[in-house]
Chain A
């Protein structure tokens, strides 16, 4: 199974709402990523988890709060978002081989609209 799943596919939320995005993989990958992609732009790295620990935070505003409760699951908690946060949010995972840097597998994304 080489699949990364993301739920929900679409999310519309108001600026005062709290919501969460979910990402799951069962490939035994111990590195997981969140990216944000605006229209007609490449994905931008937000967070990296390695062995369930946050290893990279690309100066993302605190209204985005990542969580990695176990090795298969990655969440992104959203609170008090702004309309400019509307984007496609992509999750990816990668196996952590000792001598090779392995490929990333991406989920289909969650299309987020903030009203």
Chain B
């Protein structure tokens, strides 16, 4: 069974800090890696998508990287803000099957 693990499970940082969220997977067969945020009780908002042929993607204060050989993706958030508080999920894409990571709950303290 595919496993996708996110560490840490929870993170609390003061506003303004730069931070890194990790996503590790055991099965190296990957088509893409997508990062989402989810606010409590809400649906998922797509943040970044990295194709398997790419190394990284950037959007504003967010930068995501993918290293297939080590089975790892990281999401870097620069200059964190209270509005960044949410649960962050990575989604590993296979040809049709997809697997979500376990999630990281982020709290940014003003």
Q: Which residues of A line the B interface, CB within 8 A?
A: 31, 33, 41-45, 48, 50, 55-56, 88, 90, 92, 100-109, 111
CA distance A106 to B45 in the complex (A): 7
The reply to whether A90 and B96 form a contact with Cβ atoms under 8 Å apart is: no
Chain B's interface: helix, strand, loop or mixed, by majority?
A: strand
Question: Which of the four size classes fits the interface of chain B?
Answer: 20 to 34
The reply to whether B96 and A42 form a contact with Cβ atoms under 8 Å apart is: no
CA distance A88 to B95 in the complex (A): 25
Q: Which residues of B line the A interface, CB within 8 A?
A: 31-32, 34, 36, 41-46, 49, 51-52, 89, 91, 93, 95-103
CA distance A48 to B52 in the complex (A): 21
CA distance A108 to B38 in the complex (A): 10
The reply to whether B43 and A106 form a contact with Cβ atoms under 8 Å apart is: yes
Known A44-B100, A56-B97; 8 more pairs at CB < 8 Å: A42-B103, A90-B43, A90-B44, A101-B52, A102-B32, A104-B98, A107-B43, A108-B43
Total contacts A-B at CB 8 Å: 56
CA distance A42 to B98 in the complex (A): 12
Chain A's interface: helix, strand, loop or mixed, by majority?
A: strand
Partner of B31 from the list A42, A44, A92, A101 (CB cut-off 8 Å) is A101
Q: Which residues of B contact A105 (CB under 8 A)?
A: 46
